[in-house]
Every structure is written in C-alpha cells, then in structure tokens.
Structure 1
Amino acid sequence: MDLQLAGKTALVTGSHRGTGRVIAETMAREGARVVVHGFELADAQAVVDGIAVAGGEAHAVAGDIMSDESARAVFHAAVKAVGPIDILINNYGTADAGSWTKSETADWIEAYEKNVLSAVRLTRAAMPAMKERRWGRIIMLGTIGSTEPAARMPHYYAAKGALATMTISLAKELAGTGITVNIVSPGLIRTKEVEERFLAQGYEKGWGTSWDEVEPHVLKNFMNNLTGKVTLTQEVADLVAFVASPRAGSLMALNLRIDGGTTALVT
C-alpha cells in the first residue's frame, strides 16, 4: 500500500533512539522528509546518516524541549531544514522509575514536563501553519497505562493519562481544520533495552538464553496478551506511519492501543 507520504514533512521528537528512531526511519522509507530530533546533535545525526544510506531524506535538529524557548528553537530549526511541518509526531517521553512512597513532588512535575508539556510546546508551534494549509497530522505516543495504570510509576501514568485527555481536547479544538489528532498507545515493546533486561532475567531464572525461550515467560509473568508475542518496535512505527498518512483522514480523536490484546476492552 502506498501511504502517500511522498512530499510530506515530518518532525519526530526524541527520534535519536528507540522507538522514535524506528518511526523516523519508517516515515523516511515511506517517502516523507523527516526531521530527526535528539538532545545532542551527534545522536540525531547518526540516525540521519543511516536514513540517507537507505535512500531516505532526513535532517537533524537538537535541543531540549522542556522549556518554551528551547522548544521554539527546535521547531524553527526543523522548519528551516524542511519547510512547513505537515506531520508532528510527539514521540518524546520517559518512563522513569518511581512509586507512591518514593516519588516526590518534583518527580511528578518532571514527569508532566517530559511527557505532556514537551508535546504541548511543539503542538502549539506546529498548529498555525497546518491550519493555513488545511492539512496536518498530530500524533502523540502514549501507553496502555493511560487505560489501565499500574500501581508502580504513578507519576508517569498520571502524565500519560493527561496526554491522552489532551489529545481529545486538541482534536475538538482542531475540528474541521483538515488536521487530525490521535494518540498511539503501545504496551510492552520489544526494544533493545527490554530484550536485554528480560534475557538477563531469563538467564538468572533458568528460562533460557534466547528470546524465543524467554518470551513466553515474559508474557506470563509481566504482561500477557492475546497474540502470544511482545509487540515489535516496527509494528508500532508502521501504525504511526499509517495514522500520519493521507489515507487515515477519518481517524480522529482515537487512542489506538497496540498491545497484542493486553487491554482487551470494549471502548
């Protein structure tokens, strides 16, 4: 399927690593001009270099998006590199460890800054030009924890819950403008870090030494789902690319959970 992304410009925050990197690579492979954002230019440039080798077009920008001034600088650098932004993918966020007894007020504020306000800043910068052109895509990266939060990391789940409700509010604000707003919410994703962590646990617990041996125990003991496998980063990126495409013009104000059926809910 041609996602019709050729000629579109996309800014992916936090795309210097992890799932964000795979999203940027996928968008470029589908024909979009991609701005790779990282906190250090060298990290973003490394992703850009890989995209270029694969035949895609990408540009690197760097900067902290946890303040209004620095976020504006990042956005202006992106526009300077590729022109008006058609697609904003607010991928950046962190799931910092914490608990109800150990996380202090500062931790809750930091979680909100990283997972909510970073997206607010870039969104407010991107909206005016999208409105003028009567076309745009704004996609948040959430978590199924906004639907079924755990007791652990309450500051993180509270922030991601705010991101989900913010998405619906923004969709209503932009009704009829030609801009769609949605949130993609993964469950457990098979990132490099997740794989390394569970392989180490598998070795300690005697589950085995390969991912095929360890994965069933991960699902049983950590997060079961209906597919019997942990979601791949590429699967998340493929969904994001579709939601970002002209073909997804009727998807609006949705929380798209991609978790293998971990949250098997009627909503």
Structure 2
Amino acid sequence: MKIDLTGKTAIVTGSTAGIGFAVAQGLAEAGATVVVNGRKQDAVDKTIAALSKNVSDAGKRLRGVAADLGTAAGCEALVKAEPKADILVNNMGIFQLQDFFEIPDEEWTRFFDINVMSGVRLSRAYAPGMVEKKWGRIVFISSESALNIPADMIHYGLTKTANLSVSRGLAKRLAGTGVTVNAVLPGPTLTEGVAEMVKDDAKKAGQSIEEAADAFVKEHRASSIIQRAATVEEVANLVVYTCSPQASATTGAALRVDGGVLDTIA
C-alpha cells in the first residue's frame, strides 16, 4: 500500500516533539504539505529544520505557526495564519500524575482547554472548508486512558474520554460529506514526556530509558500484550493511514494502537 498525500495540506498540533513530530514526519513522507505547530517560535523552527533533514524533499512543503492552542486566541492565530486544511490532527495534549484530592479547579480547566477545546475550536474552524471540497480528515489523538481511566491522573482520563465523544459526534454530524473524523488511542508510548517521567527510576535501577519505560508498562499496564512501550513511529503509522484516501470508509471510530492494554475484544 502506497499512501500518497500529494497536494494535501495537513495541520498537526503540538508537533514539535513526541507523537506529533512523528505524525508530521509521516505525513511529510507521504507527500503532504505539513504545518508544524508549537507554542514557541524557536521550537517550531527547529522542528522544521529537523523534518527538512529527515525527509529529503520536504523543505518546500513545511510551514510553521507558533501559537498556544490552549487558548481561544491561540487557535484564532493559527486559523488566521493557515485558513484552510485538508487534514487536521488534533494531537496537542498534556498529562501529569496527580492525586484526585490534590487537583485544584484551575487544573481541571487547564487540562480541558488544552486537551479538548483546542480540538473543538480547530475542528469547528477547518471542517466547513473540508466539506466544501467534499474531502477531509480530522483525527483526535485520544488515549487508552479514555477507557481505562488512570487513578493517578483522573483529570487526564476525563479529557481523553471527551475526545472520543467529540470525534464520534462530529463524525455523525459530517455524515455523507466525504470528511472523516476518528480518534486514535495510543497506549504507553516512549515520548519525551514519558522519558522524563521514568528518568529517575532508570537511574536508580541502572537501566536505559527504554528499559525503564518497558518496566513501567509491565508494572502499571500489566495487561499490555506487547509488554513494552510503543514508539512514536508506531503510533504515527496508524495516524497517517487514518489520514489517507485508503481510510475513506473509516469514520466515527476509536482506533487502538495501545499494545493490547485494553483487555477487550471490542
């Protein structure tokens, strides 16, 4: 199967690191023009330089917008800079281990604004243009934590469940338009954030970051079938397929790339 996104413009939010970076690279490798997003201009510039190096012919197909999409103003700035898109990957998100009784109101609001409202605002802005073209792809990066709510970050789990509600509902709202809307559910993935989270454990155990991440999966996500953390590229592969013409009959779906963590056949 050859995925060809030549002529398509893709916006990937929060794409200066982690899964977002890998998705941006995968889409660029498939021929798309990719708009990189991050909060700071220097991070956006470094990402474009890295992608230009990694994807030999992508230089002229890369653009960047620095904007804090956790705010309405930041979303407006992105839309003003890039008014149209064929593909929108709502990847931006945050997580933090925190006990329920220690999470103040403002943290619940911050997580909801960043993890949920950024995707709501941008989908609302870009979907009408996709409908006009009778083709478009919107992908929300959710998590296995949307269904397997973690006791140590309930506020995160709530936002990931909300991603599923929005993606499913929007898919139904856009029925018959040629625009698909899906959610992708990664499991434990070795992003920079996870690497930072297990760094101290790795040092204490004399392990590499990869070994510590795998040990975390075995201890805290024992139902994992692959028994390790996924790579960002493994997650990106599913996202790129979901954005492709080949995925035209897939919409309203919650697509799992969780390593089998969710112990269900559905």
Scaled by the length of structure 1, the TM-score of the pair is 0.92
Taking the TM superposition and a 5 Å limit, the aligned residue runs for 1:61-76 are: 61-76=65-80
The aligned amino acid for 2:149 is P
Q: Distance in 2 between matches of 1:158 and 1:12?
A: 22
Say whether the 8 Å CA contact 1:187–1:262 is kept in structure 2. yes
The aligned amino acid for 1:243 is T
Query: Does the residue aligned with 1:183 lie in a helix, a strand or coil?
Result: strand
Query: Does the residue aligned with 2:194 lie in a helix, a strand or coil?
Result: helix
Say whether the 8 Å CA contact 2:190–2:210 is kept in structure 1. no
The aligned amino acid for 1:265 is T
Cα-to-partner distance string for 1:98-125 (whole Å, 9 max, x where unaligned): 2221011111111111111111111011
List runs of 5+ in structure 1 lacking aligned partners: none
Superposed displacement of residue 215, structure 1: 5.2
Scaled by the length of structure 2, the TM-score of the pair is 0.92
Q: Distance in 2 between matches of 1:64 and 1:214?
A: 32
Alpha carbon RMSD of aligned pairs, Å? 1.7
The aligned amino acid for 1:65 is L
From 207, 210, 214, the counterpart of 2:208: 210
Q: Tell me the residue number matched to 1:223.
A: 221
Query: Does the residue aligned with 2:140 lie in a helix, a strand or coil?
Result: strand
Q: Distance in 2 between matches of 1:63 and 1:196?
A: 24
The aligned amino acid for 2:218 is K
Query: Does the residue aligned with 1:240 lie in a helix, a strand or coil?
Result: helix
Q: Distance in 1 between matches of 2:191 and 2:71?
A: 28
Cα-to-partner distance string for 1:229-254 (whole Å, 9 max, x where unaligned): 21110001111000000010011111
* 1:36 and 2:36 aligned: yes
Identical positions, percent: 33
Query: Does the residue aligned with 1:22 lie in a helix, a strand or coil?
Result: helix
Query: Does the residue aligned with 1:98 lie in a helix, a strand or coil?
Result: coil
Taking the TM superposition and a 5 Å limit, the aligned residue runs for 1:52-201 are: 52-53=52-53, 54-55=55-56, 56=58, 57-79=61-83, 84-198=84-198, 200-201=200-201
The aligned amino acid for 1:64 is D
Say whether the 8 Å CA contact 1:4–1:247 is kept in structure 2. no
Aligned residues: 261
Q: Distance in 1 between matches of 2:90 and 2:134?
A: 20
Q: Distance in 2 between matches of 1:216 and 1:164?
A: 27
Superposed displacement of residue 149, structure 1: 0.3
Superposed displacement of residue 209, structure 1: 2.5
Q: Tell me the residue number matched to 1:9.
A: 9
Cα 1:99/1:218, change in 2 over 3 Å = closer
Query: Does the residue aligned with 2:132 lie in a helix, a strand or coil?
Result: helix
The aligned amino acid for 2:74 is S
Cα 1:132/1:155, change in 2 over 3 Å = same
List runs of 5+ in structure 2 lacking aligned partners: none
Q: Tell me the residue number matched to 1:243.
A: 242
Cα-to-partner distance string for 1:184-203 (whole Å, 9 max, x where unaligned): 01111012342354353133
Q: Distance in 2 between matches of 1:212 and 1:182?
A: 30
Superposed displacement of residue 29, structure 1: 1.1
